[in-house]
Structure 1
Amino acid sequence: MRIQLIICALLCANLNAFAQVGKTTSGNPVFPGWYADPEGIIFGKQYWIYPTFSDKYEKQVFFDAFSSADLVHWQKHEKILDTSTVKWAKKAMWAPSIIEKDKKYYLFFGANDIQSDQEKGGIGVAVANNPAGPFKDHLGKPLIDKFYNGAQPIDQFVFKAPDGQHYLFYGGWRHCNVARLNQDFSGFLPHADGSIFKEITPEGYVEGPFMFVRNGKYYFMWSEGGWTGPDYSVAYAIADSPFGPFERIGKILKQDPAVATGAGHHSVIQVPGKDEYYIIYHRRPLSETDGNHRVTCIDQMTFDEKGFINPVKITHDGVPMKKITK
């Protein structure tokens, strides 16, 4: 019996290896498990995805990360940050956003889902010497722990502008703020008008802000609808500066009843040196009704001749193998 088990294990391993060798597209979801709010980014010649662990708030007490050299084969990096390191975080660790600065990696995150200024929690920042961590609490307290301009301190996105200035876009409860980060990410610098948190909320905004620059234009994107429902989606605007004004153009990512529902809370990565873009997002499989059951997916994102984003087709296949050559 033992010999049979060993033979079976060897055969299964060989079959799995063959399947991995023969795999040429990412497939959707790109890796197993319940994960949402994914931020995709490139460090060196590796693609990285940092998602929320999608479960009940009380179980959202850590972050995993995933890396790949080709968008097809992904390596899991477990518990790069958790509540044992962030003493003020107790639950609902959400929507990590990461950036490299001065050979260190800064991971911004939300925690505790605070509902008022009197509760402990908000947006924090952790730091590590490499993108796989381990990360440590950078400040020992939240970076933002109050509601400014009506924005719940969640869904943070750190953005480096072409001039080198780092900004933090964030906000739930249908309000979005932008703030200028200082040099060591311990606080903020005032805007030209003296304000710290400038509201830039576009029409239809709910949560999940994201920004990128293409051909000198600032593309500002966000999620609309309810995150537990099928109407969750992504819309965008284009402006000449990171402050807008942002006038809503329309939706570019939404459910396909033949594929999945609740497609939203996304990020975008550009292949270095090429006008090729991928959108990384979460969605809910058709067989799932639990609001917490979300998976991370990736599909191609393209533009028309005027620079507008074409509607994204969500797929089961995902994207073809793509290594970073620059």
Structure 2
Amino acid sequence: MKTSILSFALLLCSLCLSAQTIQKTSGNPVFPGWYADPEGIIFNKRFYIYPTFSAPYNQQVFLDAFSSEDLITWKKHPAILDTAAIKWAKRAVWAPSIIEKDKKYYLFFGANDIQNDQEKGGIGVAVSDKPEGPFKDHLGKPLIDKFHNGAQPIDQFVFKDKDGQHYLFYGGWKHCNVAKLNQDFTGFIPFEDGTIFREITPENYVEGPFMFIRNGKYYFMWSEGGWTGPDYSVAYAIADSPFGPFKRVGKILQQDPKVARGAGHHSVIQIPGTEQYYIVYHRRPLTETDGNHRETCIDIMTFNDKGEINPVKITKEGVGPVTLK
């Protein structure tokens, strides 16, 4: 009997040690709930994700955020912005993009899913003293409320260039524009030719623009295909300027029939001072047929010797823990 108890105790000890040596991962999705179009970013040595609440348009009247110290455990910050704070927004609050400037946090978002220049809505800006909000309307009206160059005013991404200039990339309906933001994000500065909205649409572009700089090159990324379909995916181009020209290189994120469908509308997090890159994106579980049933996931993104992005392997495991220094 004593031998049996001792053997059992040794087995338990062995199992405990084994569990300690297994590295915990985030798992995908990284947090529960239907969320899409996630922007991942680092503020104050903490990871943040700002997604769209994925539901019918009339229920998309607020934005939640999530934060983490290690990419593993996520804290929910509910209703950091809602239509009560944005009087002109009534539905379809989409695809937040956020940036810190002068100790304030500016959240760009699309609202109302306008279909023409006569409808009220478009791209707005909200501001807060904290990354977790609450956010209030910065302008009291949309920043962009018209179609320019055929681009629906949705899916905005705010980008800070190497010289400190901020640009807004945006656009649905298969057109993408870039505009130069002014100092207080209340409007735009015209380009040298007098235009405000410059079209930079690459081949196969549909929506969801994103940009980052690596080794002096501008990596411009976007989503292709239909957002409710299995062909939803992410492609990219590389240029020497934030204005292109952007020649499509190819797809780097798409569905895996064994894991999930419709992987797209993403962002990228780089761990400062390292070559560790993560892609934050949404996808649809294999068990779901509702177009709004989308989950936020994170996987590793790598590059080859030519600086091209390797195809991303979407996983159920997600990523391992990361501590920011």
Residue of structure 1 equivalent to 2:12:
none
Contact 2:261–2:283 (8 Å) recurs in 1: yes
Native 8 Å contact 2:146 2:153 kept in 1:
yes
Question: d(CA) in 2 for partners of 1:194 and 1:223?
Answer: 29
**Aligned counterpart, 1:88:** 88
* Aligned position for 1:115: 115
Contact 1:259 1:314 in 2 (8 A): yes
1:228 — aligned with what?
A: 228
Kindly state the Cα deviation for residue 314 of structure 1 after the two structures are TM-superposed: 0.1
Q: Is the contact made by 2:211 and 2:219 (CA closer than 8 Å) also made in structure 1? A: yes
Quote the Cα distance in structure 2 between the aligned partners of 1:191 and 1:268.
27
The residue that corresponds to 1:28 in the other structure is 28
Larger radius of gyration: 2
How far did residue 23 of structure 1 move? 7.2
Tell me the amino acid that sits aligned with residue 202 of structure 1. P
**Could you give the per-residue CA deviations for residues 250-279 of structure 1, whole angstroms, max 9, x where no partner exists?**
000000000000000000010011011000
Q: Which runs of 4+ in 1 moved over 3 A?
A: none
In the TM superposition, 1:173-322 aligns within 5 A as 173-322=173-322
User: TM-score if structure 2 supplies the norm length?
Assistant: 0.93
Distance 1:171 1:83 in 2: 22
Letter paired with 1:313: K
Alpha-carbon distance in 2 for matches of 1:24, 1:321: 7
2:41 is aligned to 41
* Structure 1 residue identity aligned to 2:249: I
How far has the Cα of 1:192 moved from its partner?
Answer: 1.7
Amino acid corresponding to residue 222 of structure 2 in structure 1: W
> Structure 1 length normalisation: TM-score?
0.93
| Equivalent residue letter for 2:84 | S
Aligned residue in 2 for 1:156: 156
Instruction: Work out the CA distance in 2 between the residues paired with 1:173 and 1:43.
Output: 32
Contact 1:256 1:314 in 2 (8 A): yes
Q: Which runs of 5+ in 2 are unaligned?
A: 1-18
Q: 1:10 — aligned with what?
A: none
Change (3 A) 1:62 1:23: farther
Confirm or deny: 8 A CA contact 2:40 2:48 kept in the other structure.
yes
Opposite residue 318 of structure 1, the aligned amino acid is: G
Q: Distance in 2 between matches of 1:129 and 1:159?
A: 20
Alpha carbons 1:159, 1:168 under 8 Å: kept: yes
Query: Shift of the alpha carbon at 1:193?
Result: 1.6
Does the residue aligned with 1:58 lie in a helix, a strand or coil? helix
What is the deviation of 1:194?
1.4
Q: Distance in 1 between matches of 2:135 and 2:44?
A: 19
CA separation in 2, counterparts of 1:65 and 1:24? 23
In 2, Cα distance between equivalents of 1:229 and 1:269:
26
Greater Cα offset, 187-196 or 77-86 = 187-196
Identity level (%): 79
Residue deviations 1:68-118, cap 9 Å, x none? 000000000000000000000000000000000000000000000000000
CA contact (8 A) 1:23 1:72 kept: no
| Structure 1 residues 153-173: Cα deviation after superposition (integer angstroms, max 9, x where no partner) | 000000000100000000000
Amino acid at match of 1:268: V
The one-letter amino acid paired with 1:124 is: G
